[in-house]
């Protein structure tokens, strides 16, 4: 029975991205059965925002830098909420509509990189 749950989670996550809403439930089941450790939560971020890390975001404003050798900054939308963001890789600024991956959160700022930079 336990193997079926693990196989179902793998199948759903790989083949049916539209059913990503099932993954948290399957992860909770795996945690209760002792197969998976609970996620580590940074107390400064909180449980809700910690789940944004490694999520996909969409660029909402063109990224720019205020001075040479400064990081590119702009705004992204994750799960319907707009955030201030800093680009952590790439020589060129992100454009509106680009998809990025959230790598970390510090305060109210997300640190993002493009799919090509992340190897995805």
Its CATH architecture, for the domain 47-118, is Beta Barrel (2.40)
* Most distant CA pair in the chain, distance: 58
Position 4 confidence tier, pLDDT thresholds 50, 70, 90: low
Residue owning tokens 């939560």: 41
Which pTM value belongs to this model? 0.57
Task: Give Cα separations from 37 to 81, 96, 111 (angstroms).
Answer: 28, 37, 25
Q: Give the helix, strand, coil percentages of the chain, each rounded to 5.
A: 30, 30, 40
Decide if 4 contacts 11 (C-beta within 8 A).
no
pLDDT digits (tens, 9 = 90+) for 76-109: 999 888 999 999 988 888 999 999 999 999 888 9
> Other C-beta atoms within 10 Å of 85: how many?
26
């Amino acid at each position: 029975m336990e193997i079926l749950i693990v196989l179902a989670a793998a199948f759903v996550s790989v083949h049916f991205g539209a059913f990503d809403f099932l993954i948290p439930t399957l992860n909770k089941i795996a945690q209760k059965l002792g197969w998976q450790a609970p996620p580590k939560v940074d107390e400064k971020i909180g449980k809700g925002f910690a789940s944004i890390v490694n999520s996909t975001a969409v660029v909402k404003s063109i990224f720019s830098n205020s001075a040479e050798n400064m990081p590119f900054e702009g705004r992204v939308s994750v799960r319907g909420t707009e955030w201030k963001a800093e680009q952590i890789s790439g020589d060129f600024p992100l454009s509106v509509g680009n998809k990025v991956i959230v790598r970390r959160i510090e305060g109210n700022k997300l640190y993002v990189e493009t799919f090509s930079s992340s190897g995805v």
